[in-house]
Amino acid sequence: MIPEVSILMPVRNGEGTVAQAVESCLAQTFGDFELLLADDGSTDDTAGILDRFSRIDRRVRVLRVPAPGGIVAAHTVLTAEARAPLLARMDADDVSRPARLERQVAVLWERPELAGVGSLVRIARRACNGEAEPAEGFLRYQKWLNSLVEPEEIARERFIESPVVHPSVTMRRAALDKAGRYRDMPWAEDYDLFLRMMACGMPLAKVPEVLLDWYDSPGRLTRTDRRYSLENFLAAKAHFLGRMDAVRRFGVEISGAGPTGKMLARALLREAVLVHALYDTSPRRAGTSVAGVPVRGPEEMGIYTEGAPVQLAAVAQPGRRDVLRELLRGLGYTEGESFYCVA
């Protein structure tokens, strides 16, 4: 029989965490699933651990990723072998709460318009004596992530950071196929997929409860893979912003001429987007230029009129984003339409 859900878990050298991750999947209160484990060239005891699970539970299948492998190659192997109409992503160093699949499958049945459903997450850091609180930046990220539940919230803030945690998501196979599956791009493959889905009008939502323990560790791809660097995240944002009709027609203005704003401006110019100006409160920046684009003071920002450039708020300091939001709203701009926060 074809299962309702295929859980997809890529793993490479995960001997210290993969057993706990697999056990959390096998302990789901929703039982109609298959668990596909893709071993991406592990050199530790990962293969032996995966094989032991496949021998004791018939829902488990172990797949091998052809060399040279990598995360996109692992996804390709997993999606090719998955039999279910719903695909649940899982990472080998995280833990799914028991009710995760039950809650997400119920939402996908109740809301057929959704392409996929994530959840709230708890971020923790692995330590030698168990686990510890994550760094302050991750706590801010957790608070922001968990504030975005409905599709309009997720879409509105999609250019700040990835608004959905990949291993928390259960998606429709048909939606993944329509979006073009995973691509090997210079930036993170999951962020690329989510941005493509939303660009195609395929909404994402979340179950408003914590269903995933998401562990930060030194070996996590978000820390070790260059595709997750600030420069490449900004390149992804510029790529998708540059394909929006209003941006192509009217260009953009950027609030923030610090490192983030400058990097974003250059990325947008590479996408052939017209960057009219950057705005900055620093007197030493006003009157200068970035790649030929003038830097102006915020007092020169105009009230919104039809056909005005799309405003991009590109400041990374805590609290500054909300200051810019209020300024732009006061000038008549609407977030998610005529202005976006991008940092």
Tens of pLDDT, residue by residue over 251-306, are 999 999 999 999 999 999 999 999 999 999 888 898 999 999 999 999 999 999 99
CB 241 within 8 A of CB 160: no
Domain co-membership, 109 together with 223: yes
**Residue predicted with more confidence, 220 or 198:** 198
Domain co-membership, 128 together with 275: no
Q: List the structure tokens of 303.
A: 């009230």
Window from 150-159, 217-226, 234-243, 280-289 with minimum mean pLDDT: 217-226
Q: Which of 228, 251, 284 is the last residue of a domain?
A: 228
DSSP for residue 299: G
Domain co-membership, 212 together with 249: no
Domain co-membership, 201 together with 218: yes
Window from 52-56, 66-70, 146-150, 270-274 with minimum mean pLDDT: 66-70
> Sorting pLDDT into bands at 50, 70 and 90, what band is 222?
low
Which single residue is written with the structure tokens 């692992």?
A: 74
Q: Inform me whether the pLDDT recorded for 85 exceeds 70.
A: yes
Domain co-membership, 26 together with 92: yes
Domain co-membership, 134 together with 26: yes
CATH number for position 83: 3.90.550.10
CA dihedral (165, 208, 139, 214) positive or negative: negative
Give the whole-angstrom CA distance, residue 94 versus residue 21: 6
pLDDT recorded at residue 224 = 64
Q: List the structure tokens of 124.
A: 């923790």
Domain co-membership, 16 together with 158: yes
pLDDT recorded at residue 228 = 79
Domain co-membership, 270 together with 150: no
> Sorting pLDDT into bands at 50, 70 and 90, what band is 47?
very high
Shortest CA distance to 245 belongs to which of 293, 302, 199? Answer: 199
pLDDT recorded at residue 135 = 87
Full domain range(s) for residue 180: 5-228
Which single residue is written with the structure tokens 């996109």?
A: 72
Burial class of 85 by CB neighbour count within 10 A (0 to 12, 13 to 18, 19+): middle
Domain co-membership, 195 together with 310: no
Q: Inform me whether the pLDDT recorded for 217 exceeds 90.
A: no
Q: Which of 228, 263, 289 is the last residue of a domain?
A: 228
Give the whole-angstrom CA distance, residue 224 versus residue 241: 26
pLDDT recorded at residue 63 = 98
- How much is the mean pLDDT over the chain? 95
pLDDT recorded at residue 316 = 81
pLDDT recorded at residue 219 = 63
- Number of structural domains (the chain) is 2
Q: Which of 228, 261, 276 is the last residue of a domain?
A: 228
Tens of pLDDT, residue by residue over 130-142, are 788 888 889 999 9
Which single residue is written with the structure tokens 């007197």?
A: 283
Q: What is the mean pLDDT of residues 92-102?
A: 98
Tens of pLDDT, residue by residue over 7-40, are 999 999 999 999 999 999 999 999 999 999 999 9
Domain co-membership, 261 together with 202: no
CATH number for position 273: 3.40.50.720
**Residue predicted with more confidence, 219 or 144:** 144
| High-pLDDT (> 70) share of the chain, % | 98
Q: List the structure tokens of 282.
A: 């620093």
Which single residue is written with the structure tokens 């990472």?
A: 91
Give the whole-angstrom CA distance, residue 71 versus residue 91: 11
Q: Inform me whether the pLDDT recorded for 318 exceeds 90.
A: no
Rounding to the nearest 10 degrees, give the CA dihedral for residues 10, 13, 17, 19.
70
pLDDT recorded at residue 36 = 98
The residue type found at 138 is F
Domain co-membership, 98 together with 215: yes
Q: List the structure tokens of 197.
A: 């889905």
pLDDT recorded at residue 220 = 64
| 283 cis-preceded (ω within 30 degrees of 0) | no
Question: Treating both helix axes as pointing N-terminal to C-terminal, what angle do 71-81 and 189-199 enclose, rounded to 10 degrees?
Answer: 60
Q: pTM of the predicted model, to two decimals?
A: 0.94
Q: List the structure tokens of 150.
A: 């409905």
The total of other beta-carbon atoms located within 10 Å of residue 283's CB is: 8
| Dihedral class, residue 188 (left if φ above 0, else alpha if ψ from -120 to 50, else beta) | beta
Domain co-membership, 70 together with 152: yes
